[in-house]
Structure 1
Amino acid sequence: MKKLKITALLAVLAFAPFYANTFAVENPSLVRIIADAIKWKSESIDVGNIPQGKPKLIRFEFTNTSSKPVVIENVAPSCGCTTADYTKTPIMPGKKGFVEASFNAAAAGPFMKTVNVTTSESKTPKTLSFKGVVVA
């Protein structure tokens, strides 16, 4: 009986490497294709010093580098002090689009804000950021 258990164990171990290669692994080229569908001109912008009480418009531009149209599905600013606008029509391959954030600089001091963008190419939001200093 002991020899049977050892033989069975050796048989399982002998075939284990064969089965280990049969499961699909995430394809890195697919990840690269999804990541490259939109090429942002800049994902982070330093606006420097801005005057208090005057809204500041920050524009993020991108190019559709995929082979099909891209639609911006949602743009979500990180706080109520920021509003957003964006290209509402489908962005054709090779064409440019934008996301704009208007920051209401009410309080003096340094700030850093984000805008999350969801597109038809990726349901995972892309986080764009901008920072600066509000001067009184």
Structure 2
Amino acid sequence: MKHTILSIFAVAALLTSCNQGPKEHTGTAGDGTTVSTEASAGATGKIEFKEEAFDFGKIKEGEVVKHVFTFTNTGEAPVILSQVTASCGCTTPSFTTTPVLPGKSGEIAVEFNSAGMVGQQQKIITVVSNSENNITTIQLKGTVDAA
């Protein structure tokens, strides 16, 4: 009998907890600061890149180009990058995984391997985040000459 009553209370608690609104999540920024990802009444972050395109000029086939795109959160809430993808398997991005506080900067490092990629190149990197401009793109471009 006690187990039945406890089970009923447990199921009731589970069902009522499912109808609650979004929870606040906290984490730690890269500088050790505790950050809440719950924005206050409509506040959002905004990503602004220092440069949206990088022209690596002319390189020989087989060379690897590395570049770091820097962005600043010009909004009023922390920005979290959830996904950064490249238009081609020859381009590999890595990115800031901690929340970027308002006024602070984050980075997206991109590496392009030109092996087998002769001619004009334009690689698009898509950035998905919780910011006001939640889907943005940056690009890497240049010319690859045959080795």
TM-score, with structure 2 as normaliser: 0.64
Q: Which runs of 4+ in 1 moved over 4 A?
A: 33-36
Q: How do 1:41-120 residues align onto structure 2 when only pairs under 5 Å count?
A: 41-106=50-115, 107-120=117-130
**Distance in structure 1 (CA, Å) of the matches to 2:134 and 2:76:** 20
Q: CA deviation at 1:34?
A: 8.9
**Distance in structure 1 (CA, Å) of the matches to 2:133 and 2:49:** 17
Which amino acid in structure 2 is aligned with residue 129 of structure 1?
A: Q
Contact 1:34 1:121 in 2 (8 A): no
Which amino acid in structure 1 is aligned with residue 86 of structure 2?
A: P
Relative to structure 1, the CA distance from residue 57 to residue 34 in structure 2 (aligned partners, 3 Å threshold; closer, same or farther) is farther
**Which residue in 1 is equivalent to 2:137?**
127
TM-score, with structure 1 as normaliser: 0.69
> What value does the CA root-mean-square deviation take over the aligned residues?
2.2
Q: Percent identity among equivalent residues?
A: 38
Which amino acid in structure 2 is aligned with residue 95 of structure 1?
A: K
Structure whose CA Rg is larger: 1
Query: Which blocks of at least 5 consecutive residues in structure 2 are unaligned?
Result: 1-41
